[in-house]
Amino acid sequence: MYPKSAIDKLLSRIDILDVIRHYLGGGLKQRGGNSHEWIALCPFHTEKTPSFTVTTRKQFFHCFGCGAHGNAIRFVREYEGLDFHGAVKKIEEITKIHIASGRTKSKRARQRSRETLRRIKSAHRRNAQEEREYRNLRIKRIRSGKGIVFS
């Protein structure tokens, strides 16, 4: 699982144009004189006139034909048919930018949690055993007529 901060960091470090260019190659053309907008035939539906735009300033893509839109992760998910984590890994491969998945941290955290839980269970078993012994002792004292002695 990737922490949100790691995903935000990845998205801030990559250029959506590089990711989409990896898939569409030379099909992307600059729109007019605007260096922040690119246009191409949409990879998600068949069309004759380009309606797929990539805006580098906003790091966003949008198709005015089919309505597909989103960031680089969404593009890779849709294009490759991947889940979220698969798309993030693919973007890491394409851009050579790697982020911490949090998995190793989570694995260590899970191991610590298991160890803590084991200790708690062990203490609980000891406490429960002591409670049973004390209760049995009280019952014996009551049955023997000595009652409960408070000190």
Pairing of strands 29-30, 69-70: unpaired
Closest residue by Cα to residue 75 from 66, 87, 86: 87
Residue 148 has what pLDDT? 61
CA distance 59 to 62: 10
pLDDT at 70: 97
DSSP secondary structure string for all residues of 123-143: HHHHHHHHHHHHHHHHHHHHH
Question: 4-95 in CATH: which number?
Answer: 3.90.580.10
Domain boundaries, the chain: 4-95, 102-143
Residues in the chain where the model's pLDDT stays below 70: 101-106, 147-151
**Confidence (pLDDT) at 63:** 96
What pLDDT does residue 13 have?
93
Residue 102 in tokens? 């949090």
pLDDT of residue 151: 54
- String of b and e for 87-99 (b: at least 16 CB within 10 Å)? bbbbbeebbeeeb
Say how far apart CA 98 and CA 30 lie, in whole Å. 29
Q: What span, in angstroms and rounded, lies between the C-alpha atoms of 17 and 144?
A: 87
Parallel, antiparallel, or unpaired: how do β-strands 60-63 and 69-70 relate?
antiparallel
pLDDT at 83: 95
